[in-house]
Structure 1
Amino acid sequence: MHHSRLCTLVLDCEGDDLRKAAAFWSAALGKPIANMDVDGDGKYAELETADDEPLMLLQKVDHPSRVHLDIETDDQEAEALRLEKLGAKRIAYVRGRWWVMEAPSGHRFCIVHKQRKTFGPHLNRWD
């Protein structure tokens, strides 16, 4: 048995100026910038969200801008296998920390480790 849930909306931002993108989305969504350099590499910024909302990240990328979802889980391998049975495929294991997956619809998404101390509401239990 394992658990998973939607945890993060990631705004993939093409270009070098993540600060400008973070300022826009912060103002557009009414969410203050919580951290302009999440991993210390200048590639991720985080907007402040409430505990019952998904996390909101901005990611500096080389591909065209888009939005992708992160699914957090307490067992990445079990979650990847579950989603493969539904038709998803594994694309890459990144930094030894998350799986990039592709849905049958062609959408990319990630399977990540648990992101908050508690899973909180909206948790799915899979046997």
Structure 2
Amino acid sequence: MHRSRLCTIVIDCQNPDMADATTFWSRALGKSIVTVDQDGDGRYAELATADDELIVLLQRVEHESRVHLDIETDDLEAEVERLEKLGATRVAYTRDRWWVMQAPTGHRFCVVRRQREAFGPHANLWE
């Protein structure tokens, strides 16, 4: 058995200035800025959210700007296999930490390791 849940909305920004992008989304969503450089490489910024809210992450990208979802899990391979049975396909294993997937609808999303300490009451339990 493993658990998974929707955990993050990722705002993909084709913008070299993450500070400007982060400031815009912070003001637009009414969320304070946690960091404009989460990993020290200028690629990720995070807005403050409560433990029972989705994480809001901004990501500097080369492709056109869009929004994608992250599903967190306590068993990466089991969750990816479950989603493949539903028709999703693996696109890329990135930074040795997550799978970029493509839904049968053509939407890209990521399956990531658990992002917060506790899953809380909204996690799905899969057998």
Q: What is the aligned partner in structure 2 of residue 10 from structure 1? A: 10
Q: Percent identity?
A: 67
Letter of the structure 2 residue corresponding to residue 59 of structure 1: Q
The number of equivalent residue pairs is 127
CA distance in structure 2 between the partners assigned to 1:68 and 1:98 by the alignment? 14
Structure 2 runs not aligned, ≥5 long: none
TM-score (normalised: structure 1): 0.99
User: 1:35: how far off?
Assistant: 1.0
Q: What is the aligned partner in structure 2 of residue 25 from structure 1? A: 25
TM-score (normalised: structure 2): 0.99
User: 1:120: how far off?
Assistant: 1.2
Runs of 4+ in 1 over 6 A off after TM superposition: none
Please state if 1:40 is matched with 2:37. Answer: no
Structure 1 runs not aligned, ≥5 long: none
Matches within 5 A, 1:1-127: 1-127=1-127
CA distance in structure 2 between the partners assigned to 1:81 and 1:49 by the alignment? 30
Task: Confirm or deny: 8 A CA contact 2:9 2:57 kept in the other structure.
Answer: yes
Task: Confirm or deny: 8 A CA contact 2:15 2:21 kept in the other structure.
Answer: no
* RMSD across aligned positions (CA): 0.5
CA distance in structure 2 between the partners assigned to 1:119 and 1:54 by the alignment? 12
